[in-house]
Amino acid sequence: MAGIVSYGAYIPLYRINRAEFNRAWGGFALPGETAVANYDEDSLTMAMEAATDCLKGFDSKYVDGLFLATTTCPYKERLGSSILAAALDLPSGIRTMDVTGTLRAGTTAMAAALDAINAGSARNVLVTVADCRLGAPSGDFEQVLGSGAAALLLGKESVIAEIRGSYFLSDEFSGVWRADGDIFLRSWEGRMVLDKGYSSSLPEVMATLMQKYGLSPDDFAKVVYDAPTDVRRHAAVARNLKFDASQVQDPMYLTLGNTGAAMATMMLVAALEEATPGDRMLFASYGNGADAFLLETTTAVENLGGRRGIKRHMESKLMLTNYETYLRWRGIIPLEAARRPEQSPTSISALWRNRKEILALYGVRCLNCGTPQYVNPSSSFTTGVTPVRLCVVCHAKDQFEPYRFADKKATVFTFTQDNLAASPDPPATVTVVDFDEGGRAVFDMTDRDPAQLKVGMRVEMTFRKLFFDRGIHNYYWKTRPVRCQEEEDG
Amino acid sequence: MAESIKDKVAIVGMGCTKFGELWDKGASDLVIEAAYEAFEDAGIDPEDIQACWIGTTDVATSGMAGLGASAPLRLQYKPVTRVENMCATGSDALRNACYAVAAKVYDVVLVLGVEKFKDTGQSGLAVGGGMPAANVYPNTTAPGMFAMMATKYFTRYGLSPEEGKTMLAKIVVKSHYNGSLNPKAHFQRAITLEQVLNAPIIAWPLGLFDCCGVSDGAAAAIVVPAADARKFQIDPVFIKALQICVGPAEGMARTDYDYTHVEETYRAGMAAYAEAGIKKPRQEISMAEVHDCFSITEAVIMEDLQFSPRGKVKEDIDAETFTLQGKLPVQPDGGLKCFGHPVGASGLRMMYEIYKQLQGKAGPRQIENPQLGLTHNMGGQPPMCTVSCVIAGLKA
């Protein structure tokens, strides 16, 4: 039976206490904190993190479909899942699809993936879901919304949770929405939004699913379902359906915030992290109707392990100590440009020619002397000698095998904190790093506390957006301090 | 059989504008001022020039091919070559001009270096821009690239940030004092150690005063065969060595590069010493104008040029070896740090100081009885750069 083979998740390092919004604007202070994407993160980079977490221990050749679900696609016309597939170094002979336009995007993508698997047109489909929605300054949404991502690898072999049934409901009601061109989330009057939207569709889809399969609330170990922006309505759903509070998966309102299309799937990952074999779960998400699934974990659920998932990402955090930084990172207020040279236009040809080096962080390994090597492919700079044709050590010509650096850990050899370089998160931290298995290169560092930088620091690679300029989101890799230290120690 | 350039050519006239933020002057003004000072010094007229080399970089508004020299000077249908080799541009223009004279192709040539940076309205060196590119190079600046050498130097030699920054600050204080004695310098103010240490950080660990400025300016030289030199000038300066070393840019991809030395400087220095017949550089070189784009650069250059043992430059700095009164004065004119850094002109500006010092015309900065002077330029960044090293002396 088709089901979940693996899971992964991602929560940005930075969190902001909701009191910061209240300090800026007054009004009502909501409790808790939300996860804030760094300035170089978007739904695509967060989906990349979750996908990488999910594929840990799996050969990328195993994947023959990649879906990206989000309501915050970086591009209106350009497939996010294709960029993601290139960054993940997936084979090109796969299906890619972006699912967008609804908070149900994640479960819609999951249903489509299951259909493909059950129909035999795909063996293993990676479903990624990420969101990074914005509430306008001073409103409730600003305090409530968070950022995050999850990924599920679906297939028929080595399944950790079988998906035994589903039920779908469509509803045209637009309680919250964004039109083309809207930056911030819009909402109709709050009670009607919930009464006729979330609090109506979600219980209905959950109740109907139970009815369809002859199950009652007692039959479930866990019930995992979306939360609305008003989290009190989440608990009300369980009460009305006669679920006990102990059965309900925490919507992480106080620690994460509402992560939109990613919310339900992130909660499912959190549930799977704690699951034991034979747990029956009801999984549902809401958005212009609702989707519900019936899951049952297998004995393999306890063996997956090694994932950062929700739990370890949640524990690893840095507090954003001021609201102004939040405004800057989200690009909400215009800032004076630094008196530095304007960047040259980004060349689509140069990006395409170096796509393996840039998106998948491929370098080469010399077949003659064995040295892994990576050269930054920035052709405007005198060092942009890519592709590598002559070995930097033995100078053998054109005797290389591809060598991927994206999954290699490294150590800081030297660094600077550059205040002159224009950065949304000054100082610009730049590191020269030596990879554990050979090779040296220079990268921006992100998700760091400048005061903690030191030579010898352990780092890993992370896929980020360098900038948005003239319609191009320029994605590349940065170093960051190893995010979950216990992996290093263990 | 290849031969050394030693004593084959001489500089018989030099000119140098004031460096700085020359808002009221364009690149052509600067070319004319520097060239005419050199013409006068050599006792020649513009029409005596048989060929010209002009050094100017492509980073700002100055790059104008050969017309950058011929148009301002109204040179009448002469061969003019524009040279670009990053911060070694001016020295490489001199090198190419000297080779043409040594080859006996020309008798009198003009070398120019010029830059008009301040019209860009930008802070720091305006690198980048231009051709569309992948734009995935890390977000750093020239100070950042060199700061990484300071970080590593401190770590490798066990200097605390305070010790390391104090060592670098002493270099800066020395150069500012020298600059205060130089009416053509961009910055002419002596400063204290505390001022250097308390200045804002530009790129950790480098502070404001650890970084040289970006300036407008031009410098010029007249080069003739050594045998003809005294027809033009009673105290000509003879070229002893002309070296350029351009690295393979492997250091950013090889884990064996230590980031605490610059191989290109070491090799250019060794080659220059061999060409000039110098065995003990620390004893034989009377003074040096080196590429102190940042304080850490000067520190490491002292070791690469073998003025100080590896890892021991701090001892020489503490002993004031490189001050005007020291055993081996470095940056007697204030260096890039205070004289300023109009990139294409810098190599010739250094030679201008060596030339004046050797002639005993350096005023309050005059060094006692100098015999040999060395100039050094470094363009690029520590793991990948081009370095020039020129040695000149009074006697053929």
Same structural domain for residues A311 and A378?
no
For residue A457, is it within any domain? yes
Cβ contact, residue pair A416, B144, below 8 Å: yes
* pLDDT of the residue at B125: 76
Q: Which of A276, A298, A329 is the last residue of a domain?
A: A329
Tell the burial category of A369 from Cβ atoms under 10 Å away from its Cβ (0-12, 13-18, 19+).
Answer: middle
Percent of chain A past pLDDT 70, that is, above it, reads 98
Q: Are residues A310 and A354 in the same domain?
A: no
Are A318 and A353 in the same domain? no
Pair (A137, A235) in one structural domain:
yes
Q: Enumerate residues 6+ apart whose C-beta is below 8 A from A194.
A: A175, A228, A230, A233
Annotate A78-115 with b (16+ C-beta within 10 A) or e (fewer): eebbbbbbbbbbbeeebbbbbbbbbbbbbbbbbbbbbe
Does an H or E element contain B158, and which? Answer: none
Cβ atoms B139, A476 nearer than 8 A: no
**Using the beta-carbon criterion (under 8 Å), do B253 and A439 form an inter-chain contact?**
yes
Q: Tell me the residues of chain A between 309 and 348 that have a Cβ less than 8 Å away from chain B.
A: 338-347
The domain total for chain B is: 2
pTM (2 d.p.): 0.95
What is the pLDDT, as a whole number, of residue A12?
98
The encoded tokens of residue B228 equal 């003809």
CA B97 – CA B79 distance, rounded (Å): 11
Whether the Cβ atoms of residue B14 and residue B37 lie closer than 8 Å to each other = yes
B292 and B320: one domain? yes
- Mind listing the pLDDT tens digit for each residue in A248-263? 999 999 999 999 999 9
Whether residue A259 is found in the same domain as residue A401: no
Q: What is the CATH number of the domain that holds B57?
A: 3.40.47.10
Q: What one-letter code names the amino acid at B210?
A: D
- pLDDT tens for residues A266-318? 999 999 999 999 999 999 999 999 999 999 999 999 999 889 999 999 999 99
Whether residue A342 lies inside any domain: the answer is no
Select from A341, A378, A474 the Cβ nearest to the Cβ of B126: A341
Q: How far is A45 from chain B (nearest CA, A)?
A: 16
Copy the structure tokens of residue B373.
């002077």
* Structural domain includes residue B251: yes
Closest to B238 measured CA to CA, from B77, B9, B5: B9
Contact B255 A377 (CB under 8 A): no
Give me the helix-helix angle, B161-180 and B295-304, nearest 10°: 90
User: CB–CB of B143 and A341 under 8 A?
Assistant: no
Residue A313 forms part of a structural domain: yes
Contact flag A416-B133 (C-beta cutoff 8 Å)? no
B138 in a structural domain: no
Closest alpha carbon to A225 in A245, A244, A206, A253: A206
Q: Which residues of A touch B255 (CB under 8 A)?
A: 413, 434, 438-440
A383 and A243, same structural domain?
no
Q: Select from A356, A395, A412, A414 the residue whose CB has the most chain B CBs within 10 Å, as the one to mutate to test that interface.
A: A414
Q: Which domain holds residue B33?
A: 9-118+216-238
In the set B176, B186, B291, B341, the catalytic residue is B341
Quote the pLDDT of residue A489: 52
Interface residue A419 vs chain B (CB under 8 A): yes
CB A383 within 8 A of CB B384: yes
Q: Active site includes B212?
A: no
Between chains, do A344 and B128 touch, taking CB under 8 Å as contact? yes
Give the Cα separation of B332 and B347 in Å (integer).
14
Flag whether A337 is in a domain: no
Helix (H) or strand (E) holding A15: strand A14-17
Residues B266, A480: Cα–Cα separation, whole Å: 34
Same-domain pairing of B178 and B246: yes
Q: Clarify whether residues B72 and B186 are in a common domain.
A: no
Shared domain for A161 and A270, answered yes or no, is: yes
A1 vs B222 pLDDT, higher one:
B222
Residue A198 forms part of a structural domain: yes
> Do B39 and B223 contact (CB within 8 A), yes or no?
no
Helices then strands, counting H and E runs in chain B, come out as 13, 11
Residues A247 and A356 in one domain: no
Structural domains of chain A, count: 2
Interchain CB distance below 8 Å, A382 and B380 = yes
Question: What are the pLDDT digits (tens) for A21-47?
Answer: 999 999 888 999 999 999 999 999 999
Predicted local distance difference test score (pLDDT) of residue B61 = 47
Contact A413 B254 (CB under 8 A): no
Pick from A380, A393, A417: CB nearest B131: A380
Residues B225 and B352 in one domain: no
Say if residue A395 is in the same domain as residue A479: yes
Average pLDDT of span A132-159: 97
Task: Let me know whether B281 and B345 are in one domain.
Answer: yes
Choose the closest CB to B138 out of A358, A373, A444: A444
Classify residue A334: in a domain, yes or no. Answer: no
CA distance to partner chain B, nearest, from residue A478 (Å): 9
Residues B256 and B337 in one domain: yes
State pLDDT tens for residues B329-382: 999 999 999 999 999 999 999 999 999 999 999 999 999 999 999 999 999 999
Segment A204-222 shows an average pLDDT of: 98
pLDDT tens-digit profile of A432-450? 999 999 999 999 999 999 9
Q: Are residues B233 and B313 in the same domain?
A: no
Active site residue B87: yes
Indicate the pLDDT class of residue A334, thresholds 50, 70 and 90: confident
The answer to whether residue B279 sits within a structural domain is yes
Choose the closest CB to A350 out of B133, B148, B200.
Answer: B133
Structure tokens at A282: 């009801």
Burial of B79 (0-12, 13-18, 19+ CB in 10 A): middle
Nearest-angstrom CA–CA distance, A40 and A448? 13
Contact residues, A window 230-289, toward B, CB-based 8 Å cutoff: none
Look at residue B52 and give its three-state secondary structure. Answer: strand
Q: What share of chain B is helix, strand, coil (3-state, %, to 5)?
A: 40, 20, 40
| B371 & B252 share domain | yes
Radius of gyration of chain A from Cα atoms?
Answer: 23
Q: How crowded is residue B312: how many other Cβ atoms within 10 Å of its Cβ?
A: 12
> How many contacts does A have with B, using Cβ atoms within 8 A?
184
B68 and B114 inside one domain: yes
CB of B60 within 8 Å of any CB in chain A? no
On chain A, the residues whose CB falls within 8 A of the CB of B249 are 382-383, 385
First-last CA distance in chain A: 35
Closest CB to A455 among B126, B151, B257: B151
The residue range of the domain holding A238 is: 3-329
CA distance B118 to B26: 10
CATH code of the domain containing A254 = 3.40.47.10
Selection from B92, B16, B107, B20 nearest residue B54 by Cα: B92
Asked if residue B341 belongs to a domain, the reply is: yes
Judge whether residue A108 has pLDDT over 60: yes
Burial of B212 (0-12, 13-18, 19+ CB in 10 A): buried
- Domain shared by A192 and A153, yes or no: yes
Same-domain check for residues A79 and A203: yes
Q: In this complex, is the C-beta atom of B123 within 8 Å of any C-beta atom belonging to chain A?
A: yes
* Within-domain flag for A451: yes
Tell me whether residues A384 and B134 touch, CB distance under 8 A. yes
Partner-chain contact B131 A339, CB within 8 Å: no
Distance, in Å, from the CA atom of A283 to the CA atom of A249, rounded to the nearest integer, reads: 10
**Is B144 at the interface with chain A, CB within 8 A?**
yes
Structure letter (DSSP) for residue A195 = I
Chain B CA closest to residue A384: B137
For chain B, 396 residues long, give each residue's pLDDT as a single digit of tens: 899 999 999 999 999 999 999 999 999 999 999 999 999 999 999 999 999 999 998 654 455 789 999 999 999 999 999 999 999 999 999 999 999 999 999 999 999 999 998 888 877 776 656 778 899 999 989 999 999 999 999 999 999 999 999 999 999 999 999 999 999 999 999 999 999 999 999 999 999 999 998 999 999 999 999 999 999 999 999 999 999 999 999 999 999 999 999 999 999 999 999 999 999 999 999 999 999 999 999 999 999 999 999 999 999 999 999 999 999 999 999 999 999 999 999 999 999 999 999 999 999 999 999 999 999 999 999 999 999 999 999 988
For the beta carbon of residue A313, count every other beta carbon within 10 angstroms: 27
A53 and A181 together in one domain: yes
Residue B141 lies in a domain: no
Q: Are A132 and A68 in contact (CB under 8 A)?
A: no
Least confident of A102-111, A372-381, B10-19: A372-381
The Cα A130–Cα A263 span in angstroms is: 8
Beta bridge partners of A412: A433
Q: Is B249 within 8 Å of B235 (Cβ atoms)?
A: no
Domain CATH for A480: 2.40.50.840
